[in-house]
Structure 1
Amino acid sequence: MGGNRGPQAERVEAQAQKIADALDLPLYFEDERLSSAEAKRILREQGLSEKQMRGKVDMIAASLFLQSWLDSRQERDERG
Structure 2
Amino acid sequence: MFTLVKNAQEKYPNKNRMIYMDIEGHKNKDGGFDHDLFELQKDFILGFLMQFISEVSMPLGRFKNENQKNDVPDGLNIVPAKD
Please say whether Structure 1 and Structure 2 have the same fold, judged by a TM-score greater than 0.5: no
Structure with the largest fraction of helix:
1
Over alpha carbons, which structure has the higher Rg? 1
Structure with the largest fraction of strand:
2
* TM-score w.r.t. length of structure 2: 0.28
* TM-score w.r.t. length of structure 1: 0.29
